[in-house]
Amino acid sequence: MAFSEADYAQIDAYLHNQLTESEKQALEERLRNESDFAAEVEWFRSFIQNYQQLRTRETVEAINQQLRSQAANETPSAPADQDGRVMPLPTDQSVGRRSFRPVWLAAAAIGTVVLSLGIWFSLRQTTDEKPVVVQRTEPTPTRPAEPTTEPEKTSVPTVTPSTREQSRPYLNDRPRLAGQAPAELRSAIDALDNDDPAAALRLLSRVRPQATKPRPADAPAPTTDTAVADDEPLFGAAPTESATTTANAATNRRLDTYRQFYTGLSYLRNGQPEQALRVLNKVKAPLREAADWYSALSYLQLNQPAPGKRLLNQISASPNHPYRNDAQKLLNQLQ
């Protein structure tokens, strides 16, 4: 605990009996209540006493040494009387021995006290208006420094999203088609818009062209275990005579084009990009541009960026392509 200059001034006055009775009682009360303060007072008391004893012993020894040297260098001669007789030197018993040692000791003690006080006051000099306190310091056992090992620096790998993850947000966008889809596909398109591509595939497999021969009674019904939405033209059976008219042929070709496109899109959203590519590659105008866009997405879902980027570059280079901006944006993400 650090003490102030006022504390050391009180300690000095107390050790030299310079306090008033009330101040002395207050300080002694503090000595009883504050063990650190009492220890500091005792340390200063022992410091002054030990220093005084040391300096006194050194001073007395120096004086004795000086007196012995003077005595050795001086040869006393006995005085003679008027008749030439040698008169004996007075003895201690005859004249009463007077020793100067107490005087020297007193002077040395006084000098030692003055010197001690000067040293003590020098210890209390302040530097930058802060008291420099001399306190007891006990040796602190030193503990060997424990070896420190720096943690190994591990490089954090840069995680780059795969082409599949980067292209996935585009899968559920409503397709931008030229014209309106045939009414026969409405239920399948609604299922696809409701995020049910499996149901859309089942409904697409039931779409039939106009004026075809009825399915034979013994013909097996289409199943949902395989490619339920056939990607071949709708004319699976031989058309009747009315189906060969120009109007019915054009209607069936348009219906077949939309059916193939939505079949490929349903496969893609159902997590079957390979089947989607097989169907989308057969889509003709006016849905060829949209089929190219979803074919590029199918390649990316298969983690085949090379053909996917090739299609995207073709799309982005076509000024009037409906997916031109999306292709440029996706290409920037894939770089």
- Domain range spanning residue 62? 5-69+100-131
What pLDDT, in 10s, does the model give residues 189-213?
Answer: 999 999 999 999 999 998 877 654 4
Flag residues of the chain having pLDDT under 70: 1, 74-161, 210-247
Determine the residue type at 70: Q
For residues 125 and 169, membership in a common domain is answered with no
Q: Distance between CA atoms of 218 and 207, rounded to whole angstroms?
A: 19
For residues 24 and 112, membership in a common domain is answered with yes
pTM: 0.46
For residues 35 and 168, membership in a common domain is answered with no
Please report whether residue 83 resides in a domain.
no
**pLDDT score recorded for residue 115:** 59
Residues 6+ away with beta carbon under 8 Å from 163: 300, 303, 305, 308, 334
For residues 126 and 229, membership in a common domain is answered with no
For residues 283 and 173, membership in a common domain is answered with yes
Please report whether residue 86 resides in a domain.
no
Strand pairing report for 126-127 and 130-131: antiparallel
Please report whether residue 240 resides in a domain.
yes
**pLDDT score recorded for residue 156:** 43
For residues 231 and 122, membership in a common domain is answered with no
**pLDDT score recorded for residue 236:** 44
79, 109, 131 — which closes off a domain? 131
**pLDDT score recorded for residue 78:** 54
**pLDDT score recorded for residue 261:** 94
* Residue 241 neighbours by CB distance under 10 Å: 7
**pLDDT score recorded for residue 98:** 44
Please report whether residue 76 resides in a domain.
no
User: What does the block give as tokens for 75?
Assistant: 């040869």
3-state DSSP helix/strand/coil percent for the chain, to nearest 5?
55, 0, 40
Number of domains in the chain: 2
User: What does the block give as tokens for 173?
Assistant: 């966008």
**pLDDT score recorded for residue 57:** 77
User: What does the block give as tokens for 126?
Assistant: 């302040």
Residues 166, 240: contact at Cβ < 8 Å? no
User: What does the block give as tokens for 262?
Assistant: 């939505």
Residues 135, 144: contact at Cβ < 8 Å? no
For residues 199 and 321, membership in a common domain is answered with yes
Please report whether residue 143 resides in a domain.
no
146, containing H or E segment: none
Q: What dihedral angle (degrees, nearest 10) is formed by the CA atoms of 173, 178, 182, 185?
A: -20
For residues 28 and 171, membership in a common domain is answered with no
Please report whether residue 95 resides in a domain.
no
**pLDDT score recorded for residue 15:** 86
∠ at Cα 31 (30, 35), nearest 5°? Answer: 110
115, 131, 147 — which closes off a domain? 131
For residues 315 and 243, membership in a common domain is answered with yes
Q: Closest by alpha carbon to 308, among 293, 320, 289?
A: 293
Q: Distance between CA atoms of 190 and 166, rounded to whole angstroms?
A: 26
131, 147, 173 — which closes off a domain? 131
**pLDDT score recorded for residue 227:** 45
Please report whether residue 271 resides in a domain.
yes
Please report whether residue 136 resides in a domain.
no
Intra-chain end-to-end CA distance of the chain, in Å: 68
What pLDDT, in 10s, does the model give residues 35-63?
Answer: 888 898 888 888 878 877 777 777 778 88
For residues 185 and 120, membership in a common domain is answered with no
**pLDDT score recorded for residue 112:** 58
For residues 63 and 168, membership in a common domain is answered with no
CATH code of the domain covering residue 264: 1.25.40
* Omega before 175 within 30 of 0, i.e. cis: no
Residues 325, 318: contact at Cβ < 8 Å? no
For residues 52 and 192, membership in a common domain is answered with no
Three-class SS of residue 238? coil
**pLDDT score recorded for residue 226:** 44
